[in-house]
Chains A and B, each alone.
Chain A
Amino acid sequence: MIEVDQLSKSYGPREAIRNLSFQIKKGEVIGFLGPNGAGKTTTMNILACIMPASSGTARICGLDVFEQSLEIRKLIGYLPETPPLYSDMVISDYLAFAARIRNVPKTHTALAVDRVVEKCSLTEVRNRIVGRLSKGFQQRVGIAQALIHDPDILILDEPTIGLDPIQIIEIRKLIQELAASHTIILSSHILPEITQICKRVIILNDGEIAAVDSLEALTARLRKGDRLFLRVRQADVGTIDKLNALSRVVAVTQQEDEQFVIECEPHANIQDAVAKLALDQGWGIVELTPASVTLEDIFLKLTLEENEVNL
C-alpha cells in the first residue's frame, strides 16, 4: 500500500533523512521509532504531501506523493506533531470545516462530524471553543480531524506527546480501536507506546533506517550478545577456527580477507583474549573495536525517555 524507495530530504546542507526504503502493507499498524531529530516528522510530512522529497520516490496506493499529491491527500488523514487547530473556532464548526476542505460532500458533513465526535469521545465538548480545551481534548480533536473523511491511511505524528499518563492511555486505546480498520503510521520516541500498538517497527536514527522488523525479532536480536570487529594485517586459513575456539565466542564471520566480526555472549569482554591471540599468532592487529550496534544505542535513548513518562 505504501512503498518508499530511496527517499532523501535535506534542509540546506543538513540531511534530515537519507535513502529510506520500506514498504507498508494494507491494514498494517507500523511505528516510526527514533530519538528526537531522527527524521520521523520529515518522513511523515513527505508521505502526507506537505513537503516534497529531495530525491527518491514514495508511492501510496500506487500514486506518487509528488506527482499525484491531490489524489493521495484524499486517502490519508494526517495529524501533525502540533494538532492544526484554529483556536478561535467551535469544535463542531472546526470539524465541519475539516470535512469540507477534505472533500466530504456538504450533505454528509453533519454526519461525518457526528461520527468522529462520537468516536473520539468529544460529545460533551463539541460546542466549546477549541482554544479553551485541555491538551488531551485538543489532541483528540486533532485525531478527529484526521478521521473526518474516513481515510484508509492515518499518519499520526507523536499523538501522545505532551499528554498526562491518563490521557496517554485514552489516546492509545483510541488508536488501538482505529487499528482494526485503518492502515496506521505512528511515530513516537517512547518505546512502550510502540510495543502496545504496533506490530512492526521502523527504527530511525540520524536520518537512516536502523532496523525494520517486528518488535519481538528486534529484542531477540539485541539479546543475542555483543559483537567485536577485528581487522588484521595478515590472516590465514585457520584464523576463523582459532577465533571460534576462544571461550564465550558464539560465531565468527569473515567479511573480507582480513576483516572479521566476532559475536560473543553478552558482557563477555573478550577483547583481551582476542588481542592476545592475534599477537601470539602474529596477525598484526589493525583494528579491534566493538561493532556498532546502533540499535542498542537507540533503544537506550528510547528507554530513558520511557522512564520519564512513567514517573
Chain B
Amino acid sequence: MKNTWIVAKRDLGSFFSSPVFYVVTTVFLILYGFIFSNILSFFSLQSFQSQQFRGMAAGLNLNEMVIEPSFHNTAVILLLIIPLITMRSFAEERRAKTFPLLLSSPVHLREIILGKFLACMTVVGVMILLSAYSTGYLMLVGQPEAGPILTGYLGMLLMSGCYVSMGLFASSLTDNQIIAAVISFGLALFMWIIGWGAQAAGPGLGQVLEYLSLITHLEHFLKGLMDTSDLIYYFSFILFGLFLTYRVLESSRWR
C-alpha cells in the first residue's frame, strides 16, 4: 500500500507540474459552467413564469431540473476528458523508457497499476470538486435535497473510475499517448452507448446490454438511488479494467 502511494504521488506531481492538467481542467470548467448556467437560467425562467400562473410551481424541482441534468452533462464531458488524463500513464513511461525504474524496484506490478489509478482518480476528483461550486451555490440560494446530490457525486466518481480503468488499459497497450487516448475514448463511448442496442436485440440479450451500459447505472445514482447491483457493477467494471491492464503489462514483460 505504501508503494502504491509512492507511485501515485509521483504521478500526481507530474500531473500538477504539466500544462496538460491545467488546460484540461480549464476546458472542463468552462464547458461545465456554460452548461450549468444555461440549465439554471432556463429553470429560473420557468419558475418566473410559474409565479405568474399559480399551480404550476408544484412541478418545479431543483434536483430534477437543474442538478440531475448538469450531472448528466458532466458525465459526458468527463467521457471526453478522462482519456486525456489517463493516456500518459503507461504510454509515457514506455516512450521515455522510465518503466524499467519501476520494474526493477521492489514494487509489485499491481501496486504500480493501483498507484496510477489512484493518481488519475485524484485528478478527476479535483476536477469534480472544482465544479462543485454549482451545487454549493444552489444549496446557498435554494433548498435542494442533499441525498440525491451526494449519491450523484458518488455515482459520478464511480463512473469516472470506470473511464480511468479503461484509460489505463488503453495506455498499457501502446507507447503512443494519442493512440491510448483514442482507444480509451472509443471504449468509453462504446460502453456508454451499448444500451442502445437493447431495443433491437430482443428481450434476453437486450437486458444484458442494458445492464452493461455505463449510463443505466449512473441514472439510479442521480435519482438518489443506491443499489448494491449498481455498486457491484461499477466495482467489477473497474477491477476488470485494472485486471486487463495487469495482464497486458505482465505479458509484455515476457515478450
Contact = CB atoms under 8 A, between A and B. Distances in A.
Interface string B1-35: 00100110010011001100000000000000000
Interface string A76-101: 10101010111111000100011011
Q: Which among B106, B108, B254, B255 has the highest number of chain A CB atoms within 10 Å?
A: B106
A70 B18 contact: no
Contacts of A12: 255
Contacts of B98: 84-86
Given A101-B6, A101-B102, A52 B253 contact: yes
Nearest to A78: B104
B29 to A, nearest CB: 24
B121 to A, nearest CB: 20
Contacts of A304: none
A145 interface: yes
Interface string B95-126: 01111111111111000000000000000000
Given A52-B253, A88-B18, A70 B13 contact: no
A102 interface: yes
A194 interface: no
Contacts of A73: 104-107
A301 interface: no
Contact of B105 (A11, A82, A102): A102
Contacts of A48: 100, 104
Contacts of B6: 97, 100-101
B106 A97 contact: no
A279 interface: no
Contacts of B102: 101
Nearest to B17: A88
Query: Which secondary structure characterizes the binding site on chain B?
Result: helix
A251 interface: no
Nearest to B101: A84
B96 A101 contact: no
A50 interface: yes
Contacts of B105: 73, 98, 101-103
Contacts of A76: 104
B230 to A, nearest CB: 36
A17 interface: no
Given A11-B255, A50-B253, A98 B106 contact: no
A50 B108 contact: no
Contact of B96 (A49, A87, A93, A97): A87
Interface of A: 11-12, 45, 48-52, 70-71, 73-74, 76, 78, 80, 82, 84-89, 93, 97-98, 100-103, 145
17 contacts: A50-B100, A50-B103, A50-B253, A70-B108, A73-B104, A73-B105, A80-B97, A80-B100, A84-B97, A84-B101, A86-B96, A86-B98, A88-B14, A89-B14, A97-B10, A101-B7, A101-B10
